[in-house]
Amino acid sequence: MKRILILGGGVGGTLTANLLARKLRQRVKAGEVTITVVDQTGKHVYQPGFMYIAMGGERADKLQRPERGLLDSRVNLVVGEVKTVDPATRTVSLVDGLQLSYDHLVLATGSRIVPEAIEHFDTEAEHFYTAEAALELRKALDAFTGGRIVIGIAGMPYKCPPAPLEVAFLIEAELRQRGLRDKTELHFCSPIGRAFTIESVSEMATPILEAKGIELHTFFNVEAIDADRHVVQSLEGEELPYELLILVPPHKGQQFLMDSGLAPAPGGWLPTDRATLQVGGRPDIFALGDATDLPLSKAGSTAHFEAPVVTERIVAAVEGRTVDRKHGDYLGKVMCFFEIGDGKGTLLQFDYDHPPRPPKPNQLWHLGKIVFNKTYWHTVPKGRV
Amino acid sequence: MTDTITAPAQTRTVDARGSYCPGPLMELIRAIRESAPGQVIAVYSSDSGSRTDIPKWVEKAGHRLIEVTPRDGYDEIVVEKTH
């Protein structure tokens, strides 16, 4: 009996479980293999939709479904909070006392936001990294009648690197439509020396920022908030006043990974091999998605393209054969849509060796993103795309 | 470019080769935030933009660029966190 244990029921965990169930169905049926997903809430949340709660009339209840309904019937689901992982005894302990043993462990535990890491974040800054926060941002935008809006990034790495730029573009378009544009100054703070990390994307985005009259501040890594003066301060020693402050909150890996000695503090990101996705050189532990320390986008798309790699490696081990490197090595593939505003978008597609060459923004890519969001439940988690 | 100032021992290496998003500079900034003053970080970058981006940021943020060394298909950029 081989026990495959997957921690996390997000994109990476759910897709890996379903791909394994498909590839190993005969062995599962024969009782030779078990596949178990442990998820803290039992609810699968489509996080890319949060931005659209703030910017596109999306509803929170449309963005979550029961995890059980997305999992192959051959996969077991345990709803519970993980306390520790012991790689020596190959045991995972849950807060409720349940202990689960494994032969192969997949850590698809995602990232978590820690706005409390910045003093006054909760009272001064808006964000869109939870459904509740996105709704609060929507309310703040509805109440906004003019002034200075500052959009920035309060920690790295963070989920969905294009998101703050997308929000800047979408807010600018909205303010124009509401007749508030000439009463508003828009400031976008980039942590690096250009508008976006990827040079080709930056070359596309910079003229759009200029055309929309959004002032770009480079090398501005948000460090602190002065609540009394309503000023945001950077790691590099600059400050900007605001009437409405929108910040990407700091992110971390899961605390139990640090407590278990698998991920170093303070970030909590798992040391992961860029090709094999093995954690810390251990042949029986894999990581994917936001949980890794790989220098890639923390995005569902990354997990989506990593899941087949983890699947091939575990299936090869179960079947006692060598890994098919064509399917069992991750080449860094990521693909995501990028909203420009005014009903237009573009596409970013790249891997470790090929930077993206985004097509000229048009309505088609915007519609592509909308269709992808709406059909997600039937495609990605089930391994249909 | 190579600085001749004596280099303290490296205390951390960030392999950001193949990183386009979020990028080597952001990986460095993450490492800087997680390090203590005096620690030295080596970043490996295959993105040619890092040769100019990283020194510019290091200067603006007030840290110390120790050296930029071309390697086989990538650059090794060594930075000391000063404060």
Element (H, E) at A36: strand A33-39
Domains of chain B, first to last: 12-80 (3.30.110.40)
In the DSSP assignment, the letter for residue B14 is E
Which residues does B contribute to its contact with A (CB < 8 Å)? 14-27, 29-30, 33-34, 47, 49, 52-53, 56-57, 60-62
Q: What is the pLDDT of residues A16-33, one digit of tens each?
A: 999 999 999 999 999 999
The reported pTM is: 0.89
- B40 classed as catalytic: no
| pLDDT average, residue stretch B65-72 | 95
Cβ proximity of A287 and A108 under 8 Å = yes
Q: Out of B15, B18, B20, whose CB is closest to A198? A: B20
Query: How far, in Å, are A203, A218, A236, B42 from residue B37 at the CA level?
Result: 35, 24, 15, 15
Query: pLDDT at position A3, please?
Result: 98
- Provide mean pLDDT across the span A288-312: 95
Average pLDDT of the segment spanning A279-300: 95
Q: For residue range B5-63, list pLDDT tens digits in order.
A: 555 677 788 888 876 655 788 889 888 988 999 999 999 998 888 888 899 999 999 99
Task: Test A353 with B22 for CB contact under 8 angstroms.
Answer: no
Say yes or no for a CB contact (<8 Å) between A235 and B27.
no
Give the separation between CA A336 and CA A373, rounded to whole angstroms: 11
Domains A2-111+253-334 and A117-250 share a fold: yes
Percent of chain A with pLDDT over 70: 100
* Token representation of residue A159: 């989920």
The residues, ordered by sequence, that sit 6+ positions from A354 with a Cβ below 8 Å of its Cβ are: none
Tell me the sheet residues that pair with A214: A186
Helix (H, G, I), strand (E, B) or coil at A155: coil
User: Using DSSP, how many helices (H) and how many strands (E) does chain A show?
Assistant: 12, 22
> Residue A173: enclosing H or E segment and its boundaries?
helix A163-177
The pLDDT value given to residue B6 = 55
Q: Assign a CATH topology to domain A117-250.
A: FAD/NAD(P)-binding domain (3.50.50)
B70 preceded by cis ω (within 30°)?
Answer: no
Mean pLDDT, residues A74-88: 98
Residue in chain B nearest A275 by alpha carbon: B18
Give the closest of A155, A267, A296 to B21, CB-based: A296
Here the contacts of B5-10 (C-beta below 8 Å, separation 24 or greater) are B5/B64, B5/B66, B7/B40, B7/B66, B7/B67, B7/B78, B8/B38, B8/B40, B8/B66, B8/B80, B9/B40, B10/B40, B10/B41, B10/B42, B10/B78
pLDDT exceeds 60 at position A151: yes
Helix (H) or strand (E) holding A349: strand A344-350
pLDDT for the residue numbered B8: 63
Decide if pLDDT at B4 tops 70. no
The verdict on a CB contact (< 8 Å) between A198 and B16 is no
User: Does position A229 have pLDDT exceeding 50, yes or no?
Assistant: yes
Of A47-51, A65-69, A337-341, A364-368, the one with minimum mean pLDDT is A337-341
Q: Residues A106-137, buried b or exposed e (16+ Cβ, 10 A)?
A: bbbbbbebbbeebebbeebbbbbbbbebbbbb
Among the partner residues A161, A198, A332, nearest to B18 by beta-carbon distance:
A332
Of B22, B30, B57, the CB nearest to A193: B57
- Average pLDDT for residues A136-150, to the nearest whole number? 97
Candidates B12, B15, B20: best to mutate against A (most CBs of A within 10 A) is B20
Task: Determine whether the interchain pair B25/A350 forms a contact, defined as Cβ–Cβ distance below 8 Å.
Answer: no
> Chain A partners of B17 at a C-beta cutoff of 8 Å?
352
Q: How many contacts does A have with B, using Cβ atoms within 8 A?
A: 83
Whole-angstrom distance, CA of residue A39 vs CA of residue A34: 16
pLDDT at A40 over 90: yes
pLDDT of residue A149: 98
DSSP track, A226-270? ETTTTEEEETTS-EEE-SEEEEEPPEE--HHHHHTTSS-TTT--B
SS3 A68: helix
Q: Rounded mean pLDDT of A70-86? A: 98
A83-131 pLDDT, tens digit each: 999 999 999 999 999 999 999 999 999 999 999 999 999 999 999 999 9
Provide the residue type at A129 as one letter: Y
Residue type, A189: C
Domain ranges within chain A, ordered by starting residue: 2-111+253-334, 117-250
CB within 8 Å: B21 and A350: yes
Classify residue A360 by its DSSP letter: P
Q: Are A145 and A183 in contact (CB under 8 A)?
A: yes
Q: Is pLDDT of A200 > 90?
A: no
Q: What three-state secondary structure class fits B10?
A: coil
Do A18 and A383 form a contact (C-beta atoms < 8 A)? Answer: yes
Q: Residue A135 has which token pair?
A: 């709704």
For all residues of chain A together, what is the average pLDDT?
Answer: 95
CATH code, residues A2-111+253-334: 3.50.50.60
